[in-house]
Chains A and B, each alone.
Chain A
Amino acid sequence: MMVPDDDRSSRQLSPEETRRRVDASLRRRYRRERLFRFYGLFSVCLGVVFLLLLFGTIIGNGYSAFRQSFIHLDIHFDADVIDPDGARDSDVLSVADYSLLVKAALRELIPEAASRAERRELNQLVSAGAIFSLRDTVMADPQILGQTKPLWLPLNSEVDLWLKAQASGKVGAEVSTRLSEQQLAWLERLQAGERIELRLNRAFFTSGDSREPELAGIWGATKGSFFMLLVTLLLSFPLGVAAAIYLEEFARRSWWVDVVEVNINNLAAVPSIVFGLLGLAVFINFFGLPRSAPLVGGLVLTLMTLPVVIIASRAAIKSVPPSVREAALGIGASPMQMVFHHVLPLAMPGMLTGAIIGMARALGESAPLLMIGMVAFIVDVPSGPMSPSTALPVQIYLWADSPERAFVERTSAAIMVLLAFLLVMNATAVWLRSRFERRW
């Protein structure tokens, strides 16, 4: 027998007792195991559900914005109304009161709207922007004066909402609307007469912002975003690559390089709004650059994406094996030639991938742009990086803030467009990576 040299070890459990106790614990432990596993799966599902809910909401709200209600009117281009002098002077044509033509055409369709109040209600059905398409028609072809031409003109957004609700199968009281009984009756008559149709909403893709939802489009914001990204790409890519080359290939380890490195990592995590403050204080107040200009936006986004590009480029340079460098130096290339002729081309796909991901982040960014005045209400489509403009995400913010109900679907549609751009950019990055990725 083993002599117990200490009363502690004498109290050791027998194997049978150990087995009994383990056995007793098993049920409880397996229940916990299942529960824990369930929590994990539940969390994963929750994440996926959030994503689906988000996309569901956006698409469910937004898909209808790609179509818009139009009314088919026989417009008589009455020369007496548009151009009483008959001079066809473009100054006169551009300021003429085209709403009279619309009113006349409507009166013809619904003659029984006689009183002043009734006629006003009737005229309200057609978008205030219809006159612009009439004006453009006349300006493009003054010969049309005196003729009658059937045209599809946009309806007011309130009408548009009601018609879309009808089209989706909702009836009567289910649809809340600000339209009067009388207006609804007219609309039903026009529908019966096949005067009203849901058609592709071209204005949404071709025009700038507008106070009238049915005229508002994303082209202005898209172009603003484009100019901004152009500036960002042209600046942040070369600068980021240059910084990465220096840090990876030329800088000797020292406290100073450590400072630069820590600083770059920190900068990548600084809130974007702080970059907006920097842009406001430096670019606008100090250098006096114009507010709301894509150039300034691009500069701010450059500073913001620079760390991302530098980090990605460094990773790409690091992945080029030292043997390539040794081979180049071995045949007498200078370090600079080695980098620019050999390392850089091999690292390029990785750098481009990083740049695209940085650009995608910049495209979705809005907070710093609010600081530098890109939230202004701008109708004109910008013509260059110096003209005032807004950006796609800021446009979404502006529309999301508008009280008109019709902007809800347009906001969602604009988000769909923005997400589509981001998807394309990220897919390109993934494709680039898989296409050119080399394993050494």
Chain B
Amino acid sequence: MLTMDKSEDVIVPPADAAPAAVLPVAAERIAPDTVGDVTARNAVICVRGGNVHYGDTHALINVSLDIGRNEVIALIGPSGCGKSTFLRCLNRMNDTIESARVSGDFRLDGQDMYAKGTDVVMLRARVGMVFQKPNPFPKSIYENVAYGARIHGLAANRAELDDIVYGSLERAGLVDEVKDRLDDPGTGLSGGQQQRLCIARTIAVNPEVILMDEPCSALDPIATARIEDLIDELSAKYAIAIVTHSMQQAARVSTRTAYFHLGRIMEVGPTDRIFTNPSHKLTEDYVTGRFG
């Protein structure tokens, strides 16, 4: 396993970057609505022209974006702008909503996620998700983490399962707090601990990508800080896409940021540039707090 310096993985734009006019032609063709480079080197997820309809509402319009291995990409934008919808497309969670229709090209490792032969179970095993509100199962802490491994048959025996549970709790930074009470119900933990339990539960399946839908919005600042540290640690192993309302958070944890507005991605770029020198007027208005 390679340890990589975060900055290495970031696609650093040319120094004189920004205005749409100087973008590579190819990128413009890929995403005509979007300012900035939507592509990523070493991409694990590749979306081109993604659309989502909920009944009559067009929730996601012609969105293209790559997510690279070992990068943390933050999806920001005002509420109802489609960032959560986009996130839910990446492991086909929209399938559970009856009125949702998804079209466009979504690829995981070059394979079409929405192709007929693609297996949702396998897809979700590879692309994990953490939700806005911590949602531990009404089971013991141990069983919560073991759940994924059990259903997927990842452990051949009890010892292997123990390894998976301990390892996941450890990587989620929770093991010291819960190792003496693995049989207590997961719902008895504090909010921040519950959310880290959910993260442990997700990484127990050994996914390649972790999607996080405002994982800290229900937590207090201290718990939030711990989760942010955790995301930082996890980024060494996983590609992470995080939806957040907090621009500070996006700035702290992500290497790249995409700004969503009314179902479109308005701008994509390295996080520091998006926050210091946005190219799009709307991005600027948003990050400077004029609306949102």
Contacts and interface: CB of A to CB of B under 8 A. Distances in A.
Indicate, yes or no, whether A interacts with B. Answer: yes
Interface in B1-30: 1-3
Contacts, number: 55
A8 B163 contact: yes
B182 to A, nearest CB: 14
Given A8-B167, A9-B170, A15-B208, A29 B121 contact: yes
A26 B236 CA distance: 29
Contacts of A8: 163, 166-167, 170
Given A1-B1, A18-B206, A26-B122, A9 B171 contact: yes
A23 B3 contact: no
Interface residues of A, number: 18
A18 B236 contact: no
Interface residues of B, number: 23
A26 B119 contact: yes
Given A18-B154, A18-B206, A21-B153, 6 more contacts: A11-B160, A12-B164, A15-B208, A18-B205, A22-B153, A26-B122
15 contacts: A2-B3, A6-B167, A8-B163, A8-B170, A9-B171, A13-B154, A13-B206, A18-B125, A18-B205, A19-B122, A19-B125, A21-B154, A22-B152, A25-B151, A29-B151
Q: What are the 4 closest A-B residue pairs judged by CB atoms, nearest first?
A: A25-B153, A18-B206, A9-B167, A22-B152
Interface of B: 1-3, 119, 121-122, 125-126, 151-154, 160, 163-164, 166-167, 170-171, 205-206, 208, 236
B1 A22 contact: no
A185 interface: no
Contact of A23 (B122, B151, B164, B205): B122
The B interface is mostly helix, strand or loop, or mixed, namely helix
B3 A1 contact: yes
Given A8-B167, A15-B206, A26 B121 contact: yes
B152 A25 contact: yes
Nearest to A5: B170
B1 A19 contact: no
Contacts of B166: 8
Contacts of A1: 1-3
B61 to A, nearest CB: 33
A286 B164 CA distance: 73
A270 interface: no
A347 B203 CA distance: 54
Contacts of B154: 13, 18, 21-22
Contacts of B1: 1-2
